[in-house]
């Protein structure tokens, strides 16, 4: 029989807050924990899945996309076309975020270089607006 852990143990093992684990379980992204005396009992091998779900949601995937990825993960020889379709939206979002972050980085470097004693008063907001960041 596999050992079971409380939600606090899983949170500690995975580095994911207890509240997030509860939410992921309620969204169906984690298997329902056994409940006994008002405690959730999770299998010890759930921590990597908790980290995966947390990371994917943090990266901009929505719960349906994460659920689809988890479903594909369980299939042998996951259908490449299904995976590609699932990944299109999140990959586009990541590309947009990367472009925005690069524009922000460039604007901050420009602001830093122009904020010398000779050029005090260069407004960061005007550089960000000029670069289309805000």
User: Do 97 and 45 lie in a common domain?
Assistant: no
pLDDT of residue 1: 44
129 falls within a domain: yes
34-36, strands of its sheet edge to edge: 4-5, 39-43, 34-36
Q: What is the pTM of this model?
A: 0.64
Where the chain has pLDDT below 70, the residues are 1-3, 74-78, 114-122, 133
pLDDT of residue 115: 61
Q: Provide CB contacts within 8 A for 66, sequence distance 6+.
A: 29, 53, 56, 57
80 falls within a domain: no
pLDDT of residue 21: 95
Domain-ending residue, one of 15, 44, 61: 61
> In the chain, what is the greatest distance between 2 CA atoms, to the nearest angstrom?
72
Structural domain boundaries, residue 47: 1-61
Would you call 109 exposed, middle or buried from its count of C-beta atoms within 10 A (0-12, 13-18, 19+)?
Answer: exposed
Domain-ending residue, one of 21, 40, 61: 61
| CB neighbours of residue 94 within 10 Å | 14
Give the chain's domain count: 2
């Amino acid at each position: 029989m596999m050992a079971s852990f409380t939600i606090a143990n899983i949170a500690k093992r995975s580095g994911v807050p207890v509240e997030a684990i509860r939410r992921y379980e309620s969204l169906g992204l984690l298997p329902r924990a056994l409940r006994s005396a008002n405690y959730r009992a999770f299998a010890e091998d759930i921590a990597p899945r908790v980290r995966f779900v947390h990371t994917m949601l943090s990266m901009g995937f929505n719960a349906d996309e994460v659920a689809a990825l988890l479903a594909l993960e369980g299939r042998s020889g996951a259908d490449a076309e299904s995976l590609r379709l699932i990944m299109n939206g999140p990959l586009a979002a990541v590309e947009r975020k990367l472009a925005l972050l690069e524009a922000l980085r460039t604007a901050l470097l420009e602001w830093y270089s122009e904020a010398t004693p000779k050029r005090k008063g260069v407004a960061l907001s005007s550089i960000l607006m000029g670069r289309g960041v805000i």
